[in-house]
Amino acid sequence: MTSPAESVLARAWRRRGPLACLLFPVSLLFRLLVSLRRALYRAGWLRSTRLPVPVIIVGNVFVGGTGKTPFTIWLIEQLRAAGFSPGVISRGYGGKNALPVEVGPDARPAQVGDEPALIAARAGCPVMIGRDRVAVAQALLAAHPAVDVIVSDDGLQHYALERDVEIVMCDERGDGNGWMLPAGPLREPAARPRDFTVVNAAHLPPLVLPPAYRMQLSGEVAERLSDRGHAIPLGNIRAPRIVAAAGIGNPARFFGMLKKAGLTIEPLPLPDHYDYADNPFARLPADIILITEKDAVKCTQIDTMKTDPRLWVVPVTARIDSALAKRIVEKCRGRPTA
Q: Render the burial of 282-321: b for 16+ CB within 10 Å, e for the rest.
A: eeeebebbbbbbbbbbbbbbeeebeebebbbbbbbebebe
Query: In which region does residue 313 sit, left (phi positive, over 0), alpha (psi from -120 to 50) or beta (all else)?
Result: beta
For the chain, the straight-line distance linking the first and the last C-alpha, in angstroms and rounded, comes to 48
**Interstrand relation of 101-102 and 127-129 (parallel, antiparallel or unpaired):** antiparallel
- 66 labelled ligand-binding: yes
- 219 labelled ligand-binding: no
- 65 labelled ligand-binding: yes
- 259 labelled ligand-binding: no
d(CA 12, CA 130): 33
- 256 labelled ligand-binding: no
- 62 labelled ligand-binding: yes
d(CA 48, CA 92): 21
DSSP 35: H
d(CA 270, CA 265): 15
CA 63 centroid distance within chain: 11
Which string of DSSP letters, residue by residue, matches 259-273?
Answer: HHTT---EEEE--TT
Strand partners of residue 102: 128
- 69 labelled ligand-binding: yes
Binding-site positions read 62-69
Binding-site positions for ATP read 62-69
